[in-house]
Structure 1
Amino acid sequence: MIAMERLNANRFLKNFAALFSATLFAQLINIVASPVLTRIYSPEEFGYFSFYLSVCALLIVYTTGRYEFAINTVKSEEESQQLFKVVFVSSILFTVLLLAVEQLFHDPVLRLFKLEKASSLLLYIPLTLLVMGISQGLNYYLNKHKEFGVLSKGKVLRSSVTSGASILFGWTGLQSVGLILGNVLGYVVSNMYQTRIKKIGSLFDFRQYDFPLLWKTAAKHKHYPLYNSSSAFFDNLAVQAPVFILMRFFSEAIVGFYSLTIRVAAMPISLISASVAQVFLSEVAELHAEGKSFLHVLKKVLMLLAGIGVLPVILLVVAGPWGFALVFGEKWRMAGELSQILAFGYYAKFVVSPLSVVFFVKQKVKLLSLIQGIRAVSTLSVLWISSVYLNIKGVVFVYSIHELLFYSLYLFFIFNISRDPGHTRD
């Protein structure tokens, strides 16, 4: 028994190390490229790009229907392949639908978010969602088969292509569109690599699709689009709310400063956190399926994340403004000042967010949806009200305090349902 636990622990650490090292390297590429990008692109252009990313992050949950999360929970290879195909078809259908909706509400959206100078970015959102949807499906399909090496190389490849292409396109004078095209190209190349290296191109061959069976599979797992999509939408809305509110009440330059803190500070720890979440999901899903407690794994991962996140927080608080001005140019000092305030909120998210996969393993999707719905409403309310009465630093301070409080409550619920031995769906 003890030997088996040690084996599982070693396997977890090995898989985590593979994804962690690759994610760290991928983020080093982004960080190295960032000083070049900030001298090619203006804060305003970064602001528009950040808005585009926020919209994509918000809509991706409906693009795939969240069916990718079911891939890891089914036992048969046939059903996991059917679920991947559901993700692919759903991504295509949603992309077409979004294009139609954009044509109907094009001008009102531009006026609401002051996008008249960057109207073309709306055209790239459906394309981005399609390649992101495919990437989501591939990530969870490869995760099920514990292909962490392929996942790791895909992360590094995507980061390399995105950064290189963004610099190249920026030199040609494409403005914020250069950042968008670099992002899309990164997804495309990574998806092609993972598909080719694992020889799973047949998953994209419509001639081999049994659409009645796909419909049956989608219906079987309908709680993901019905409940988890809404849950994830509210969760992403809470995360992306600062971009939307700042774009509405302040300027695209302010959004650009905020987006650089995300790119340099929040994104690296978030992606490291995501790597932990993938390995953690694989481990706890297996233990839960065997009827075993995974509370010891939860505690171990919590302590691991808490330790990893300390150093980045200290660096941001102590040297944020000075570091941003030195590395990215004096015009970006404000981004460093914002990162000082946001550091503790980032830390709370880094430590707690990966553990939320427990809700899927324990099939507490409705509870998760309720929690995240409340968070979305409270986040929007806090940001909207503070933006009316406070300056940008005051708004960011209030937002960071809100994040700390929410993730503390989130962690309480995670431990509470992890102690519950029941297997019933909520």
Structure 2
Amino acid sequence: MSDFIRNIMKLVSGSMIAQIIGILLFPIISRLYSPEDFGVFQLFLSIASIIAIISCLTYHLAIMLPKKNEDSANIVSLCFILLVITSIASGLIFIPLSDEISGFLNTPDLADYLLLLPIVVFLSGLFNVLNYWTSRRIRFGVVAESRIANSLGSRVSQVGIGSYNPSPMGLITGYLTGFFLANILMLGYFKSDIQYFRKVSVHRMKELAIRYKRFPKFSMGSLFVNTFSFQLPPFMLAFYFTSAIVGHYSFANLILALPVTLIGGATSQVFFQKASEVKNENGNFKELVTEVHRKLILIGAFPLIVFMIVGEDLFTFFLGAEWYSAGIYAKILAPWLFIRFMYSPISSIFDILEKQNIELIFNILIICSIFITLFIGGSYNDPILGLMLLSIVGVILWSCANFYLLRISGVQLTHEVRHFVKYLLIAILVSIPLVLVDYLSATIYVILFLSMVLSIAYYIVVIYLDHTLRSKLLGAINAAKK
């Protein structure tokens, strides 16, 4: 377990640096680009993300699973071939239809940027493949460095371009730059892996494609539906409302997703590698799942409460007055994002236990629920109503999926529910002073100061209550003294 936590810390530290860079530049970016710019960027990104995630027919998820590195190298090569084909096909399909697509989404400016779609699909798809191979090789420090390069390259480019000519092109170009730099960094470590790729053959690629056929058969559909479900809100908000509404939603989702990206993403990557390894050894990873799930609960509970209390105040102060609506959206979506934060890192259990068919059913339910809730909001011309319904239904469905993953891993559900309630109550009790200050309409500086003080108080309490965290912290302190 110590290696597991150490690897998570490597990724978290790298992700933390990357996210700190992003957070520091957000106030600049939000003042350079308008909500409309972010709306166009989000719609472009939504299309690219859907294509990129299935560009390898989801064989990239199988990179972790073979016992031999030679077999994994064959899967990587297969993924690269599929990625090239998909990228070219995306250009041939979407570029000729760019006017029709942008017209349907009520965003005419989108047509000007779909020329870049094949490049974005290729670079982001390659990033996924390289991440899984690098994680398999247990180079989590390299993965952390790639995340820093991605964030730094992306945000700095967006600020630089936006200073001269703020438009969706600046946001898209910055996004491309980040992935390009991250991919170059990871490819630089391939020299020591050449011996595995020398044994790549078309025959072996075919054999492994058949061996892991459940991934394109079930995971691809499931992952497509899952990704589409996350990208469906921007599409529907654009269809029923305006690109500005899409921009507010995308920024709210971006800020709320920081913990999911920072902690959840790092934990997910290490969890997949470690759980696959444990399964190959003895088939039982109950303790690992329990440990990860409980840590995610205690980490995410307090930020959830803070966003629900003063979300719009924080958004207005850091991002500017025109992003007030994004803060309202963040308050509404916070409970849903918290459940996603707990679910996302352990969702690879579906792949590890080859339960992709169940995951597909769950994701179909998710996409149906998103469509129905936002359809209701659009019918009443009320984005707030649609997002409220979306958040409520999201909490219910993701909680059910979370419980299912815990159950098939052998974890006691009643124990996890008690653990969840315990830390949520602690977070609520600690945040009571913040509720009073907000009710009294205190200045934003008082709210910020109190939020930081209460955050420190909350994490001191949870570290004291959690024996594993306390022992790790004391061990780190003792090691530093020596």
TM interval, shorter chain, is over 0.9
Unaligned regions of 5+ residues in structure 2, if any? 412-482
User: For residues 54 and 341 of structure 1, what CA distance do their matches in structure 2 show?
Assistant: 21
| Matching residue of 2:144 | 152
How many Å apart are 1:376 and its aligned residue? 1.3
Shift of 1:340: 0.8
Query: Contact 1:84/1:203 (CA < 8 Å) preserved in 2?
Result: no
TM-score (norm 1): 0.92
- What RMSD in Å do the two structures reach over aligned CA positions? 2.0
Within-5 A mapping of 1:242-391 = 242-389=233-380, 391=382
Is 1:406 matched up with 2:375? no
Matched AA of 2:380: Y
| Equivalent-residue separation in structure 2 for 1:229 and 1:150 (angstroms) | 27
- CA–CA distance in structure 2, aligned partners of residues 381 and 394 of structure 1: 12
1:28-47 equivalence runs, <5 A: 28-47=20-39
Q: Does the 8 Å contact 2:95/2:114 carry over to 1?
A: no
Residue in structure 2 matched with residue 3 of structure 1 by the alignment: none
Q: Residue 229 of structure 1 aligns to which amino acid in structure 2?
A: M
1:50–1:255 CA contact under 8 A, matched in 2: yes
Distance 2:171 2:196 in 1: 28
Q: Give, as a single letter, the amino acid of the residue that structure 1 aligns with 2:52.
A: I
Q: CA deviation at 1:200?
A: 6.1
Where do 5+ consecutive residues of structure 1 fail to align?
Answer: 1-8, 421-426
Q: Is 2:4 aligned against 1:12?
A: yes
Q: Displacement of 1:404 after TM fit?
A: 0.5
Residues 377/214 of structure 1: CA separation in 2 closer, same or farther (3 Å cut): same
C-alpha contact (below 8 Å) 2:36/2:247 kept by paired residues: yes
1:53 to 33, 45, 49: 45
Identity %: 25
Match of 2:97 in 1: 105
Q: What's 1:423 paired with?
A: none
The answer to whether the 8 Å contact 1:85/1:204 transfers is no
1:117-151, Cα deviation, whole Å (9 max, x unpaired): 23122112221110111111111101111110100
Alpha-carbon distance in structure 1 between the residues aligned to 2:194 and 2:92:
29
| Structure 1 residues 405 and 102: alpha-carbon distance in aligned structure 2, compared to 1, 3 A threshold | same
Q: TM-score, structure 2 length as denominator?
A: 0.82
Q: Structure 1 CA distance, aligned partners of 2:193 and 2:167?
A: 35
Structure 2 equivalent of residue 21 of structure 1: 13
1: CA distance between counterparts of 2:300 and 2:381? 30
Q: 1:26 is matched by which residue type in structure 2?
A: A
Q: Contact between 1:86 and 1:214, CA under 8 Å: does it hold in 2?
A: yes
Letter of the aligned partner of 2:333 in structure 1? L
Shift of the 373–94 alpha-carbon distance from structure 1 to 2, 3 Å rule, reads same
Looking at structure 2, the residues matched to 82 and 174 of structure 1 have their Cα atoms a distance apart, in angstroms, of 43
Task: Give the counterpart of 1:219 among 210, 220, 223.
Answer: 210
Aligned AA (2:49) = A
Distance in 2 between the 1:67 and 1:416 partners? 26
CA distance in 2, matches of 1:416, 1:390: 40
Alpha-carbon contact 1:195-1:201 (below 8 Å) kept: no
Q: Which amino acid aligns with 1:281?
A: F
Name which one, 1 or 2, has greater alpha-carbon Rg.
Answer: 2
CA distance in 2, matches of 1:58, 1:203: 33
Q: 1:12 and 1:393, CA in 2 relative to 1: closer, same or farther beyond 3 A?
A: same
Per-residue deviation, residues 37-78 of structure 1 (Å, max 9, x unmatched):
111111100111111121122222221211111110001111
